[in-house]
Amino acid sequence: MKKTFILSALFVFLCSIHEQKAQLIHSESIHVELGIPLDNNASNDYLIIRPQYALSYNSELNVPNWISWNLHRGWFGGVPRYSGSFIQDTSLPAEFYRVKHSDYTNSGYDRGHMVRSEERTATAEDNKSTFLLTNIMPQTPTLNQQTWLSLEFECERLCKDQNKELFIVAGGIFGANPKRLNTVVSVPDSYWKIVVILDSGQRVSDITPATKVIAVLMKNEVYTSGTTDWKLYSTTVNAIEEKTGYDFLSDVPKEIQEMIESKNFVSVQEQVESTTLMISPNPVSNQLGIVFPGMVSKQYEIQIIDMMGRIITNDNVELPVDADGMIRHQIDIRYLPQGAYSLIIGNGMNIYSSVFMKSE
């Protein structure tokens, strides 16, 4: 169903999803164009709609459950980054704890923007809104400044270089008893992000089974060199829904929603590729031979993915290295139907990928 919200540039509309469900059906915001994410417990979903983004706030965790926003080249501008302290959100109800800048101080965690500061630089007001602490979650420095940032750079590139219009939703996944900063701010175990990629001006009615969706799951941990590319953490919307309990993209027609939520759209061409993976024969009917440079006593993850982005096999094996420093391995693919497939091999440091054809 279409949810609409009456907004003005100076008006912030706040309501409980549980108590105001009827109102949601009759109002409009570009930031929830694809639907309002809902789970089975509306009691901890406090909805905030701003001109710059929408969010569901959790007063038990003192962080957002999710933040949803629209992004296109018009949101980028030249205003300088807000230079003050992060801002306590005084629009929250009086009975809620209102997170302070100092709650993060000396915690070892960054104040991680969900809506990136750079993504709201058309006006000073837009940029300042991203520093409200209801848009902030605790992230490790390497996640915030490297791995998470790498996907933010990709979103900026899509908007500026390809004139794409993005519909984004992001949030965290928490354990049963999460760590808390200053005893109040809950720390997620991992983060997720969903990016629906459309052409400029397109809306929910323009989404088709071919619409590309980026979905990632990233642990809230320390990242080292070689592990900071967002493509390494690509997944499906279905996987994120399973871990969070939320239903995303709910305003997309059901049959299309089911198709795009089941695909991992990061293709072989978008993976961290290597030309050193050799495959033979190709096409292949029974045994696929692979050769690539390897590391001694190293576990490798081997994935075969069909052209719809579905993972067909996902095996972890220890592969021996020969005297020439190469790994030579045979993969039984007799069970695969005829068609084209992607082969992806990784060990946490390197990723090798190629495409092969399965013949009869």
Note whether 101 and 74 are within 8 A (CB). Answer: no
**CA separation for the pair 12, 6 (Å, rounded):** 10
Q: What is the 3-state secondary structure (H, E, C) of 15-76?
A: EECCCCHHHHCCCECHHHCCCCCECCCHHHCEEEECCCCEEEEECCCCEEEEEEEEECHHHC
**CA separation for the pair 286, 176 (Å, rounded):** 46
Rg (Cα) of the chain, in Å, rounded? 22
Half-sphere exposure in the Cβ direction for 265 (13 Å, CA): 17
Give bridge partners of residue 68 from the DSSP assignment.
54, 169
Give bridge partners of residue 55 from the DSSP assignment.
48, 67
CB atoms within 10 A of CB 162: 11
For residue 304, how far is the Cα from the chain centroid?
Answer: 22
Q: Each residue of 91-126: b (16+ CB within 10 Å) or e?
A: ebeeebebbbeebbeebebbbbbbbbbbbbbbeeeb
User: What residues contact residue 8 under an 8 Å CB cut-off, 6+ apart?
Assistant: 51
Catalytic residue among 26, 72, 113, 329: 113
The C-alpha torsion from 230 through 236 and 242 to 246, rounded to 10°, is: 80
113 in active site:
yes
Note whether 343 and 332 are within 8 A (CB). Answer: no
Residues forming the active site = 113
